[in-house]
Amino acid sequence: MTTTQYVPTRTGMTVDAFKRALLDNLYYILGKDASSATPYDFYMALAYTVRDRMIHRWLATTRTFEGAHARTVYYLSAEYLMGRQLGNNLLNEDLTEIAREALAQLGLNLEALCELEPEPGLGNGGLGRLAACFLDSLASLDYPAVGYGIRYEYGIFRQTFVEGWQVEQPDHWLACTYPWEFPHYDMRVEVGFGGYTEPWTDERGHYRVRWKPARTVFGVPYNIMVPGYGTDNVNTLRLWSAQAVESFDLRLFNAGDYIRAIEGRVLSENITRVLYPDDTTPQGRQLRLEQQYFFVACSLRDILSTFRSQESDWERLPQYVVIQLNDTHPAIAIAEMMRLLLDDEGLTWEQAWGITSRCFGYTVHTLLPEALEEWPVELFERLLPRHLEIIYEINARFLAEVAQRYHGDIEHLARMSIIREHPERRVRMAHLACVGAYAINGVAALHSRLLREHTLRDFAEYWPEKFSNKTNGVTPRRFLKLSNPRLADLIASRIGDAWLNDLDQLRQLEPLADDPAFRAAWREVKQQNKQALAANIQQSLGLAVDPTSLFDVMVKRLHEYKRQLLKALHIITLYWRILENPSLDVAPRTFIFGAKAAPGYWMAKLIIRLINGVAEVVNADPVVCGRLKVAFLPNFNVSLAERIYPAADLSEQISLAGKEASGTGNMKFALNGAVTIGTLDGANIEIRERVGEENFFLFGMTADEVFALRNAGYRPREMYDRSPALRGVIDMIAAGRFSRGDREMLRPLVDYLINRDPFMHLADYESYCTVQEAVDAAYRDQERWTRMSILNTARCGYFSSDRTIREYCDEIWKIHPVRVQLPG
């Protein structure tokens, strides 16, 4: 008798087993058969089929880490821009071709189903995407790690344009079941807000404090699997959702007061309703602080519970637990850890502080003072009274030490105090993080230097040993292999695919930059990617663009310091030159924008309106003859970015020097062969050093020159008065040329540029336009441009998030890989 080897439906890695599992999931989970299923049903069945093959690895990873009692990093971030999960999970689980063949046998297309996946917009920009890249690298390198964040019901808003203006619409990514998450209601924790504190004395005569919250909410964890590439390791991202303790008042309902019957539930669940509520109102500010404390309180309770399941001695906590604060948002964790150790566990202050101050690392992601959060003392006192008491005590003890070193220098004490006294008493969260963390790092060489010399200078002088640099990186799995498969395949055909786990191997491409046949193949890949993006622009905007034109791209969060406005001035300059000389010979360009402005950020919204106004005029003017096209693609997110990076020729990284912490978009562009035009800001400096000065278009002032000009007294009107070209461009805006004749609509932008210009657009304008002429000349020489493109990719190995994570693990977190072994 012939026997057939059994292939388990849930974990089988053959095409037949995968297809059988997909149809089973369609039938038994979704209640559909193939004849009645919609494409979305098939997407869901596919997602469950992939998920099944991850679960046993995930549970094995958890058991392995517990068994090894491994030192673990817990990553606290208010943002995670994970992107769509299906394609990434297929890649990391080595299931892409198996799934493609199984679907083909059912008459289905893998790529079409991947497009149906909703994207969780649980972040605003680079901060959230960096956190996602770090989780990918931690899993791929086998490091024990858990990410913690917030499960926002509505993520970053969905952006549309109406009459050129940004309009925000809710992004309900949870409208349908999200197949990648596992709710664990049995693991929920209770979090308090408001109320009062009362002192008491314990049986040993020690002074103690109880916090009596006025209200409490539950935090329910939702686990998302994070698979590594080329490993069986599957780490965890745990997002917390707020749930009311009492969700329904039956007495009020029966009395006919239906609204008040659910009021408590609504107020509780509002905490995780929306990513970054508008904080221009007192209610919005309170909700932001509630969000931050909520997810920190849930996460620390979870971390300590995990520790106590294996250890009883609190002094050993720093040996096994390291908690990384991703920017200032989770800084309240310092005070919360102290509260838990003091009030719940009964430790002395000295014990609790000794433990707390050895557990936390702090990454600073900004140089902008307004981004280093401060909260009114009055709000803290009302919302978190016990934490304010603890912060006062931390501050008093810290300032006593500072006073000894600086002999009572009052100005020094005032600058370093966690409490700002004037003009309003506020809690400085960055100062709390600096005092409570054992390590503080910036995210690019320049950024870290400016932190030490300016933003956190007093703390760097006081604790120089705490400060270091960890230049950011991006995962090549998602941002090259997954998003640019044509280029990844071309690279693999020449050097193999080991570069996916060792990006420095891209260096092997350097000699090929001088190979005409390879350059031709490289250009063909780029051209195909540009054609795909051109089709997307046509579909999205109804705008036909020339795929052979120079794709000049600026996609990133909309902020004045990133200077999308300077890019707009350059486009208007080119347009003005063509109007002055209709036969002007310029290399055809397609300018591509993508950016969201925060809902309450009026100036950013005005810049969007200007760019859309420029697009409306330039795209329709027959004098331009198609030489210039402007496309502002709405709702920029990870999925759209994955289409744009592979198609870009020129990467615009033009922030004012000294303002961008690092940037990661600059790395993604360069990795995909785009050539950068940029200032010496953030990681641009390190990109230029590695790809070569001749493969980078540099313009503008240095950070030191920016400081010098500002100190000397920057007067933008002088720039306007002495430059006919600049004056002509700004006057076109003032005359209503890009606002349908309305001279008042964009008047605030004109006044802003001429009278204030805090980010020095006008000071860098001439340098920028001059270097753009060099870009024009270089692009006309396609052999030269292709060589520059190849060398950008070949020399970007340093900017892998794997390298960044190894540096964190070796130098800050002191954790080691733990290889997962599957049972059997």
The β-bridge partners of 594 are 555
User: Mean pLDDT score of the chain, rounded to an integer?
Assistant: 95
Distance, in Å, from the CA atom of 759 to the CA atom of 747, rounded to the nearest integer, reads: 18
DSSP state string for 524-539: HHHHHHHHHHHHHHHH
237 three-state secondary structure: strand
Helix-then-strand count for the chain, H and E: 34, 23
Secondary structure E strands in 648-737: 650-653, 675-678, 696-698
**pLDDT at 251 > cutoff 70:** no
Distance, in Å, from the CA atom of 821 to the CA atom of 824, rounded to the nearest integer, reads: 9
| pLDDT for the residue 570 | 98
DSSP state string for 379-399: HHHHH-HHHHHHHHHHHHHHH
- In contact, 359 and 304? CB cutoff 8 Å: no
Categorize the per-residue pLDDT at 2 as very low, low, confident or very high, splitting at 50, 70 and 90: very low
State the average pLDDT over residues 696-706.
Answer: 98
State the average pLDDT over residues 78-86.
Answer: 96
Categorize the per-residue pLDDT at 291 as very low, low, confident or very high, splitting at 50, 70 and 90: very high
Distance, in Å, from the CA atom of 241 to the CA atom of 263, rounded to the nearest integer, reads: 18
State the average pLDDT over residues 447-471.
Answer: 97
pLDDT digits (tens, 9 = 90+) for 794-809: 999 999 999 999 999 9
Q: Comparing 369 with 348, which gets the higher pLDDT?
A: 348
**pLDDT at 1 > cutoff 50:** no
pLDDT digits (tens, 9 = 90+) for 167-192: 999 999 999 999 999 999 999 999 99
Q: Which residues participate in catalysis according to the annotation?
A: 365, 556-557, 562, 664, 668
With vertex at residue 484, the alpha carbon angle to CA 479 and CA 487, rounded to the nearest 5 degrees, is 120
Secondary structure E strands in 638-750: 650-653, 675-678, 696-698
Distance, in Å, from the CA atom of 247 to the CA atom of 262, rounded to the nearest integer, reads: 6
State the average pLDDT over residues 454-469.
Answer: 97
pLDDT digits (tens, 9 = 90+) for 491-507: 999 999 999 999 999 99
- In contact, 653 and 663? CB cutoff 8 Å: yes
824 class by beta-carbon count within 10 Å (0-12 exposed, 13-18 middle, 19+ buried)? exposed
274 three-state secondary structure: strand
- The alpha helices in 205-281, defined as continuous H runs, are 250-254, 258-261, 263-269
Flag the least confident range among 177-181, 276-280, 405-409.
276-280
Structure tokens given for 403: 């006073």
Distance, in Å, from the CA atom of 76 to the CA atom of 480, rounded to the nearest integer, reads: 27
The percentage of the chain sitting over the pLDDT mark of 70, rounded to a whole number, equals: 96
Distance, in Å, from the CA atom of 19 to the CA atom of 749, rounded to the nearest integer, reads: 58
- The alpha helices in 693-821, defined as continuous H runs, are 703-712, 716-722, 724-734, 747-751, 761-780, 782-794, 801-807
What is the DSSP secondary structure assignment for residue 547, as one 8-state letter?
T
Structure tokens given for 235: 């780490």
Categorize the per-residue pLDDT at 4 as very low, low, confident or very high, splitting at 50, 70 and 90: very low
Flag the least confident range among 1-10, 395-404, 575-584, 789-798.
1-10
Cα dihedral: 127, 129, 133, 138 (round 10): 60
Distance, in Å, from the CA atom of 552 to the CA atom of 654, rounded to the nearest integer, reads: 13
Structure tokens given for 705: 């020159």
Categorize the per-residue pLDDT at 253 as very low, low, confident or very high, splitting at 50, 70 and 90: low
- Residue 738 CB: number of other CB atoms within 10 A? 26
With vertex at residue 778, the alpha carbon angle to CA 667 and CA 471, rounded to the nearest 5 degrees, is 15
The percentage of the chain sitting over the pLDDT mark of 90, rounded to a whole number, equals: 90
| Chain position carrying tokens 């953030």 | 682
State the average pLDDT over residues 269-289.
Answer: 86
DSSP state string for 19-34: HHHHHHHHHHTS---T
> Given its phi and psi angles, is residue 692 left (phi above 0), alpha (psi -120 to 50 degrees) or beta?
left
**pLDDT at 256 > cutoff 90:** no
> What are the CA-CA distances from residue 85 to residues 90, 304, 639 (Å)?
8, 30, 10
